[in-house]
Amino acid sequence: MAIVAINLTTGSLQQEEIIVGIDLGTTNSLVAYVHPETHQPAAINDLGRGTIVPSVVHFPAGGADPLVGSAAYDFLLSDPQHTIYSVKRLLGKSYRDLGQHAGQLGYKVIDDNAEGLVKVRVDDRFYSPIELSAAILRELRARAEHALKTPVNRAVITVPAYFNDSQRQATRDAGRLAGLEVLRIVNEPTAAALAYGIGLDPDEEKTVAVYDLGGGTFDISILRIQQGIFEVLSTNGDTYLGGDDLDRAVLEHWTTAFGLPAAFGISPHLRQQLRLAAEMAKKYLSQHDDFTTHLTDEAGHNTTVTLTRAQFNDLIRPLVARTIAACRQAVQDAGLSSDSATLATQLDAVLLVGGSTRVPLVHEAVSAFFGQTANSSLNPDEVVALGAAIQADILAGNRRDVLLLDVTPLTLGIETLGGLMDPIIPRNSKIPTKAGRQYTTSLDGQVNLKIGVYQGERDLVSQNRKLGEFTLTGIPAMPAGLPKVDVNFLLNADGILQVEAIELRSNTRQRVDIKPQYGLTDDQVEQMLMDSLLNAKDDVAARLLIEARTAAEQLLYQVESFTRKNRAHLTETELTATAEQVAQVRTALTGTERDPILKAMNELDELTRPYAERVMNISIQQAMAGRKIG
Ligand code: ADP
Ligand code: MG
C-alpha cells in the first residue's frame, strides 16, 4: 500500500511511506490512515479484530512480552497487579499531581519521589507511563504494518486539549520509544473537527463545540477555526467521569433492585460478570428499549436482571447533568451566550466524540443545551483517529491546499535593560514561526550578554513568566553599542522554543531549547492575559518610567566616561558644572517620577553637548595634523 512516486530530476522511484494517525485513549486506542488512492481516512482493522484496541497492557508471568489490547483486558480482573489500564492518566505526571487518585488504580504506583515522574511497579520491575504507552503504540504500529503491508515509521498522535507540555512531551517520547517519529501532537477536538471536514477550507471561519465522553473522562472544548488555524477558546470537563460511571450506576441499581446475592459483590469473578453485564446493558439500550440477562452466582443460583431505557435514563441523568454544567462553563469561558437559542446561532456545529455519546440521553441533553442537533454522523469511537490520519496526510504533503497551523497563546520575548519585556513572538502568532531582533551591549568592553526569555503580556518581565536564561559569552571587548547581537526565536509546531543568540562581528553563538507551555494550565494562560488587560495602564506608566531611568543611566555612563577620557580638554568650571548636573540626575533617579528624570537628563545633555563638540573638533584637528590620539 506504499505510495510510489517518481523523482523527476533523477528519474528514480521513491517509496513514500504512509504516516498514520493515532488516538492514544485512556480506555481505547486506534490507528487510522488515509488511503493513498481513495484519499479517504479509515481506521485500521487488522485480522478482523475490530478497530478498537483497549488501552490495557498485561505482563505475563515469566517475563514474556507484554500483551496489549483485548488479550490484556481479559486479565484486568484475574490478574490486576500485572495488568495496567488508564496509563494515560499518569503520563507526564508526578506522584503529587495524582493526589488522592493514586490509590484508586488496581496496580501499584511508586511514590518514593513526590516531585519526580510516577512509575508503575509490576513485581520487581518499574515501568514509566511513557514505556507503558509505548507498548500500546507498538501494538498499534504492528497492526498498521500488518494490515497495510508496509513499514510504518511516522505518526501523528492526539492528546486532550488541556494536556500541558510535560504531558505532550511524554506522549512524544512514548512514540519515539515505540519506534515512531512523531510528526505532530494534535489536540483531540481539533482532530475530531478535521474528521468532520472543518478547517480544511482556509477561507471558512467556524466556531464549534466538541463534546467528548469516553470511558473514564469527559472533555468539552470550544474551538474557533480561522484560515486553517485552530484556536482553543475554552476547555472544561471532568477527568473522572465517563462510561465506567454509567456502568457503575447500572451495577449498583441491580445489586439493590434484585437483591443480588452477596457473592456478586465479593467474588472478583462474579463482580466482573456483573460489570460486563452492566456495560452490555448500557450498550444494548443505546439501540433498544429493554434489556434482560441471567446471572449465575457461585452456588448456582440464577437471577434474571432487567433494565429498561427509561430506568437507565433515570440512573444516569445526574451524571449527564454534570457534563452539561461543564458545557455551560466552557461556553461562558469562550465568551458565548448560555442561552440555547442565542448559542445556536453562535456555534456552527456541535460534534459528538467518544463511545459514550452513543447513549441517546446524552445526545438529547447535548442537543437541548446547545440548541441544535449534535452531529454524530461519524463513528464516535473512530472520529479522533480519523482526524489524526487526515492531519498526517496533510503533513505528508498530500493535501497541498491545506495549511494547518496552531497558535501560541502568550507572547514570547526577552528582558531588556531595566527589566522590560521586549516581545519577539506576539501572542496568537501561527506556529511554527520564526522571529528575531538585534541587540547590543550597554557597557564598554562588555564580553557577556545575559538573555532572559519570558512569556506573557505584561510590560515588566517581573510580572511575566520566566522560561529560561542563558549567557552569550565570548563577545570581543568593544565600546558599548558596537557589538551586534542577533537574538532569534524559533517556535516549532509542538510549541517548543529554540532561542539563539549570535554576535555578528565575531560569530559567537549560543543556543537553548525552551518549552514555553511547561506546567501552564489553560486557566493560568487565561489569567495571564486577563492580568495584562487589567493592568495595561499601570504597565505603560511603569514602562515609561523604566525607559526614562534606563536612558538616564546610559547618559550618565557616557558623560562619565567622556569626562574621564577628556579631562585635559575641559576647564575646572566645566568639570564642576558637569559634576553638579550629574548629581542632579542621580537625585532624580532616586525618585519614582518620570518628569524630573527627563528634565535633569535634558539639562545634563544641553550642558555637556558643547563640550563634546569642542573635544571632537580638537580630535579632528589633531587627526588632520597626522598625530595619533588617545
Ligand atoms: P476513551 O476515549 O476514554 O479511550 P472511548 O471513546 O473509546 O474512550 O469510549 C469508551 C466508552 O464508550 C466505554 O465506557 C464504552 O462502554 C462506551 N461505549 C461504547 N459503545 C457504546 C454504546 N453503544 N453505548 C454506550 N456506551 C458505549
Ligand atoms: Mg477518546
Domain ranges of the chain: 2-9+406-534, 20-196+381-395, 537-624
Give the DSSP per-residue string, 565-618: HHGGGS-HHHHHHHHHHHHHHHHHHHSS-HHHHHHHHHHHHHHHHHHHHHHHHH
Q: Tell me the per-residue pLDDT of 450-493, one tens digit each, with 9 for 90 and over.
A: 889 998 888 889 888 888 888 888 888 988 888 889 999 988 77
CATH superfamily, region 2-9+406-534: Substrate Binding Domain Of DNAk; Chain A, domain 1 (2.60.34.10)
Based on the residue annotation, tell me whether 23 is a catalytic residue of this protein: yes
Q: Which of 73, 282, 352 to mutate to test the pocket of ligand 1 (most atoms within 8 A of CB)?
A: 282
pLDDT, mean of residues 347-374: 98
The answer to whether the bond into 41 is cis (omega within 30° of 0) is no
- pLDDT category of residue 611 using cuts at 50, 70 and 90: confident
Please state which CATH number belongs to domain 537-624. Answer: 1.20.1270.10
Shortest CA distance to 144 belongs to which of 51, 58, 69? 51
Residues touching ligand 1 (Cβ under 6 Å) are 25-28, 214-217, 242-244, 279, 282-283, 286, 354-356, 358-359, 381
pLDDT, mean of residues 306-315: 98
196 versus 10: which is more confidently predicted? 196
CA 354–ligand 2 middle distance (angstroms): 5
Residue 66: per-residue pLDDT: 95
For the ranges 110-124, 241-255, 287-301, 600-614, the lowest mean pLDDT is seen at 110-124
Q: Which of 70, 279, 356 to mutate to test the pocket of ligand 1 (most atoms within 8 A of CB)?
A: 356
Average pLDDT, the chain: 86
Q: Which of 283, 323, 359 to mutate to test the pocket of ligand 1 (most atoms within 8 A of CB)?
A: 283
- pLDDT category of residue 384 using cuts at 50, 70 and 90: very high
Q: Tell me the per-residue pLDDT of 246-293, one tens digit each, with 9 for 90 and over.
A: 999 999 999 999 888 777 777 777 888 888 899 999 999 999 999 999
Q: Which helix (H) or strand (E) holds 282?
A: helix 268-285
Report the 10 Å Cβ neighbour count for 94: 15
Q: What are phi and psi of 337, to 5 degrees?
A: -80, 145
CA 375–ligand 1 middle distance (angstroms): 17
Which listed ligand is nearest to 282 at the C-alpha?
1
CATH superfamily, region 20-196+381-395: ATPase, nucleotide binding domain (3.30.420.40)
400 versus 144: which is more confidently predicted? 144
Q: Tell me the per-residue pLDDT of 556-598, one tens digit each, with 9 for 90 and over.
A: 988 888 888 888 888 999 999 999 999 999 999 988 888 889 8
Shortest CA distance to 227 belongs to which of 206, 192, 194, 203? 203
Residue 630: per-residue pLDDT: 40
Rounded to an integer, what distance in angstroms lies between the CA atom of residue 141 and that of residue 164? Answer: 25
Which listed ligand is nearest to 25 at the C-alpha?
1
Catalytic residue chosen out of the listed positions 145, 212, 297, 381: 212
Which three-class secondary structure state does DSSP give residue 428? coil
Catalytic residue chosen out of the listed positions 188, 245, 393, 503: 188
CA-closest residue to ligand 1 atom 13: 215
